[in-house]
Amino acid sequence: MRTALIVGVLLLGGLALGGCGLLQSQVNSPTVTQFSPHSLISVGPPLLSCQAAALPLGAPTVAGWHLKCSLVQAPAGDTQFTVELMLLDGRGNAAYFFSDVCQGVLRQGQGDCQANFFAPAGLSAQALELFAVGLPSNKLSNSVRPLGGA
Interval 69-106: pLDDT, tens: 999 999 999 999 999 988 887 787 888 888 888 999 99
Q: What are the Cα distances from residue 52, in Å, to 19, 136, 141?
A: 24, 27, 18
The whole-angstrom separation of Cα 106 and Cα 108 is 6
Say if pTM beats, i.e. exceeds, 0.85.
no
Domains of the chain: 2-144 (2.60.40)
Mind listing the pLDDT tens digit for each residue in 5-39? 333 333 333 333 333 333 333 333 343 333 333 33
**pLDDT confidence of residue 124:** 75
Helix/strand/coil for 126:
helix
pLDDT (tens digit, 9 = 90+) per residue, 132-144?
999 999 999 988 9
